[in-house]
Amino acid sequence: MKLIITEVGLRDGIQNDAVFVPTADKIRLIQQLFDAGVRSVEATSFVSPQAVPQLVDAEDVIRGLRKPAGASVSALAPNVRGAHRAIRAGVDELVVFLSASESHNRKNVNRAVSDSLKGIEEIAELAAAHSVKVRGAIATAFGCPFEGDVPPQVVAGIARAFRAAGVTHLTLGDTTGMGTPAIVRRVCGEVLSAVSDAALSLHFHNTRGMAMVNVAEGLALGIAEYESSIAGIGGCPFAPGATGNICTEDMVNYLHECGHETGIDVARLTGVALEMERLLGRTLPGQLMRAGPRSRLHPMDSVRTAAAQPTA
Amino acid sequence: MKLIITEVGLRDGIQNDAVFVPTADKIRLIQQLFDAGVRSVEATSFVSPQAVPQLVDAEDVIRGLRKPAGASVSALAPNVRGAHRAIRAGVDELVVFLSASESHNRKNVNRAVSDSLKGIEEIAELAAAHSVKVRGAIATAFGCPFEGDVPPQVVAGIARAFRAAGVTHLTLGDTTGMGTPAIVRRVCGEVLSAVSDAALSLHFHNTRGMAMVNVAEGLALGIAEYESSIAGIGGCPFAPGATGNICTEDMVNYLHECGHETGIDVARLTGVALEMERLLGRTLPGQLMRAGPRSRLHPMDSVRTAAAQPTA
């Protein structure tokens, strides 16, 4: 299957990182992602600079990019003001969002879900007037850290509301890694029947080690778009030290091993991951960047002889 | 499906760890695993104490255990001398092993595969004479770090040789995490047709982030036994800092979420993982022990209000 991978590391990955990534480095990393074949990048968020200091340079990042043919750059637009800024800066796609659970939406944006939807309708109109695409992201689609399970019908209802507002590209976000293959099957099934003409993208977190099996479930359902974060950057606000976003290069490598096509060069992607690790100055969750590809063979003298050391 | 989980952390997990785990702690951890419902533990290896100082206390560990009803304790027996020691100490099962690839077998035990098989025949006779079970482990079954792909027919041929030696319980080991779902399907398919009456167990490493999708593939093939390591301890000799064994509590949690039964209490298992982390004094790869179960809800005041901080 031909798949579309959206890199979210420069937004969801680093937004709460203690290390400020300089604007020039952000731009350089995104260019390297383009060079690796990535064609969809969520590059930043047009949120208040006071609120998210890491993304204070949203305009400069968007304006600084040299996009290859066929590439799409998106940015989060939390409100109409942010949408205006993003459109002016020249994004191809606005990402609007709300949470499937009322309590998470309240906590995240201090609004009822219905109020978020009204704001989104306004942004969708604005975007349409400027011929900018809109992607609607539904956070906590596979579970809410405050409420627990979120009924699939509720997620499907929001998907329908997005659809009614003209948003035909949807992302289901597993915000705190509560998804399991069974839940992915139920929620996606409900959403796919509710808005059969929408493009669906899945955004998993590896908080409980299930991100890749959830991707596998998405693939089994025929879903062709996945969001991920280079080197697996981005944690979980509820669990210090826990993993957040699924790691892009690990996921792309897995997808290729399953025979799917992404147009991405895994070796170059791994190079970007190592560069990100160097910039942030700490070990990041990605596996492949430490282990190397399975095709990289080792000389027999690369480890000590171990009649001694039987490994099974 | 009713599944059997074999905990290998106290053997494969810690064998090369720089931190010596005191004998009393090893015994206590295994007892805690029993208390959590684990009923199969690979507890140690009867290897030369000079070679693997961590496992110098093999006899004491085996003799110190109070086994609950139905529990099986196994130990690695690299040679006849080790098998004698293990049987005298009172193990329920000997684990004998070789590598599917000649070069890895040479590197690991300094012998040709055919010579390893002869040694295994001898151990199998000894075990039969003492009514001790034998499990045959085939390392590098899904790929060799020196040779690359290992033909499924080669793995199946070794399985047949094990079977001919009276070994009816087999483990396929993904020693350096080279397995992918497609390879798991091919290799296991070949082995299952070659030795249809053998019990098959799978031992995955998460070196490239694919351990859980490989378990999923095993489940799809109807395979009911999996080996794993508490807290995900155990690295990869070829990649400093890389992950080794799949993490027991993450895997068991996933299996339960898929509706399978293991008889294991995940919360207690996570407690053992945290205890292991305390003993080794560093962060281990397990995810669930940091994030907590998905059923653990958070109070809404547990994170800062983030109109500020939109997460998708």
Asked whether residue A310 carries a pLDDT value surpassing 90, the answer given is no
B171, B136 contact by CB (below 8 A)? yes
* B64, amino acid identity: G
**Neighboring chain A residues of B173 at a CB cutoff of 8 Å:** 312
Asked whether residue A282 carries a pLDDT value surpassing 90, the answer given is yes
| Nearest CA-CA distance, residue B128 and chain A, Å | 22
Contact call for A290 and B241, based on CB within 8 A: yes
- For A239, which residue in chain B has the nearest alpha carbon? B291
CA atoms of B126 and A178, how far apart (whole Å):
49
What integer is the mean pLDDT of B16-32? 96
- For A312, which residue in chain B has the nearest alpha carbon? B139
Contact call for A208 and B306, based on CB within 8 A: no
Note the pLDDT tens digit of each residue in A170-210: 999 999 999 999 999 999 999 999 999 999 999 999 999 99
Contact call for B109 and A236, based on CB within 8 A: no
Provide the total of helices (H) and of strands (E) in chain B, helices listed first: 11, 8
**Burial label, B80 (beta-carbon count in 10 A; 0-12, 13-18, 19+):** middle
Asked whether residue B305 carries a pLDDT value surpassing 60, the answer given is no
Which pLDDT score is estimated for B311? 55
**Nearest CB neighbour to A242, from listed B15, B175, B290:** B290
- Lowest-confidence pick of A22-31, A226-235, A294-303, B41-50: A294-303
Which pLDDT score is estimated for B303? 73
B191, B158 contact by CB (below 8 A)? no
- Lowest-confidence pick of A197-211, A293-307, B48-62: A293-307
Stated as kind and residue range, the H or E segment containing A73 is strand A72-76
Contact call for A210 and B257, based on CB within 8 A: yes
Contact call for B257 and A76, based on CB within 8 A: no
Which pLDDT score is estimated for B32? 98
Q: Report ipTM (2 d.p.).
A: 0.95
CB atoms within 10 A of CB A253: 25
The residues of B assigned a catalytic role are: 236
**Neighboring chain B residues of A258 at a CB cutoff of 8 Å:** 180-182
B33, B41 contact by CB (below 8 A)? yes
Contact call for B203 and A312, based on CB within 8 A: yes
What integer is the mean pLDDT of A214-223? 98
Asked whether residue A307 carries a pLDDT value surpassing 50, the answer given is no
All domains of chain A in start order, with CATH = 4-302 (3.20.20.70)
Q: Decide: helix, strand or coil at residue A96.
A: strand
What band does A20 get if pLDDT is binned at 50, 70 and 90? very high
**Nearest CB neighbour to B312, from listed A97, A178, A291:** A97
Residue A258 a catalytic site member: no
Which pLDDT score is estimated for B281? 96
Which pLDDT score is estimated for B203? 98
Which pLDDT score is estimated for A312? 53
What integer is the mean pLDDT of A235-263? 93
- For B97, which residue in chain A has the nearest alpha carbon? A312
Handedness of CA A135, A141, A144, A147 (dihedral sign): positive
Which pLDDT score is estimated for B301? 83
CB atoms within 10 A of CB B237: 20
Q: 0.90 cut: is pTM over it?
A: yes
Report how many Cβ contacts below 8 Å link chain A to chain B. 239
**Nearest CB neighbour to A213, from listed B108, B213, B237:** B213
**Average pLDDT, whole number, for chain B?**
95
A159, A191 contact by CB (below 8 A)? yes
Handedness of CA B157, B158, B159, B162 (dihedral sign): positive
| Nearest CA-CA distance, residue B190 and chain A, Å | 19
| Nearest CA-CA distance, residue A23 and chain B, Å | 20
Q: Which two tokens stand for residue B291?
A: 């994030």
Which pLDDT score is estimated for A304? 63
Mutate to test the interface with B, among A115, A227, A311 (most CBs of B within 10 A): A311
Q: Decide: helix, strand or coil at residue B174.
A: coil
Beta-carbon contacts of B101 under 8 Å, excluding residues fewer than 6 positions away, are: B140, B144, B146, B147, B150, B154
pLDDT above 90 as % of chain B:
91
Q: What is the largest CA-CA distance in chain B?
A: 71
| Nearest CA-CA distance, residue B215 and chain A, Å | 9
B232, B206 contact by CB (below 8 A)? yes
**Neighboring chain B residues of A295 at a CB cutoff of 8 Å:** 148
| Nearest CA-CA distance, residue B96 and chain A, Å | 9
**Nearest CB neighbour to B182, from listed A147, A258, A297:** A258
Contact call for B309 and A52, based on CB within 8 A: yes
A183, A172 contact by CB (below 8 A)? no
Note the pLDDT tens digit of each residue in B217-259: 999 999 999 999 999 999 888 887 888 999 999 999 999 999 9
Note the pLDDT tens digit of each residue in B141-170: 999 999 999 999 999 999 999 999 999 999
**Nearest CB neighbour to A291, from listed B175, B208, B303:** B208
- Considering only CA atoms, which of A171, A101, A96 is closest in space to residue A134? A96
What band does A311 get if pLDDT is binned at 50, 70 and 90? low
